[in-house]
Amino acid sequence: MTPELEQTLALLSSHRSVLGYMLLSRGHPVSIIRHTGGVFDGEHGKKYAGVIARIVETVQSGLEEINGNENEGDDVKFLRIRTKRHELMISPDGRYLLAVLHEPS
């Protein structure tokens, strides 16, 4: 784990409004590379991982459906889900997925 990566992730999790982050690798099924924050621990965290993966899949397949067979189609770049209590920001990539849960003050 390169020190730069460590630093960047540590900076992210120490941000005042960030409750935790989860770094997943895509593929079936998704697997958790790293996570911090009490929210993402243990079974609950695994559930989150499954849920997030499904959400991204749904949106992605929705986009594919809309775009039909146009070359390349559209890719999900950034998902921002604002709920009453928190905000979940998901950024998927071809290989990885970073999800951050934060509390907008």
Partner 1 sequence: MSSTAERRQQIEAKRAKLAELRKARADRQKSDSDRKSSETSAGSFTPRNNDVDDLLSSILRESRGPGATAGNGYLDSGELTPSSSMPGTPSMGTSLLPSSLSGRASRNSDFASSIGTTLAPSINSATDNVMAREMVPRFLPDLIDIEQELFELPTKKERVIYNKEVQTMEIEVETPNNEAETLQRGVSEVDIEALQAARDRELEEESVQLDKEIEEEIREIPPEELASILAAPELLEFVDSTTKMFYRAIHDYDPTRDYRVGTEAGSDESEGRVKRVCEFFDERYTKNRSITDVDWSPQYPELSVASYNKNAAALNEPDGIVAVWNLHLLERPEFVFHSQSDVLSVTFSPFHSNLVFGGTYSGQILLWDNRSKHLPVLKTPLSASGHTHPVYSMQMVGTQNAHNLITSSTDGTVCSWLVDMLAQPQETQELIHAGHNKTGEVAITIMDFPDNETTAFWVGTEEGNVYQANRYDRAGAKAGLNQYDVYKAHAGPVMGLHFHPTSGSVDFSDLFLTSSVDWTVKLWRTKSLAKPSTTPHVISPLYSFDESDDPVYDVKWHPTHPAVFGAVDGSGKFDLWNLNMDTEVPVVQTSVGTGRALNKLQWDKKDGRRAAIGGSDGKLYIYDIGDMAIPRESEWSDLQKTVSGMVGGGAQTNGLVDGDVRSIAGR
Position 18: which residue type?
Answer: V
- Residue 85 CB burial class (10 angstroms; 0-12, 13-18, ≥19): exposed
Q: Please say whether the beta carbons of 20 and 40 come within 8 A.
A: yes
Does position 30 interact with partner 1 (CB under 8 A)? The reply is yes
**From the CB of 77, what's the least distance to partner 1, in Å?**
9
- Contacts with partner 1 by CB under 8 A lie at 1-2, 4-5, 7-9, 11-12, 15, 17, 23, 25, 28-34, 46, 49-50, 78, 80, 82, 89, 91, 93, 95-96, 98, 100, 102, 104
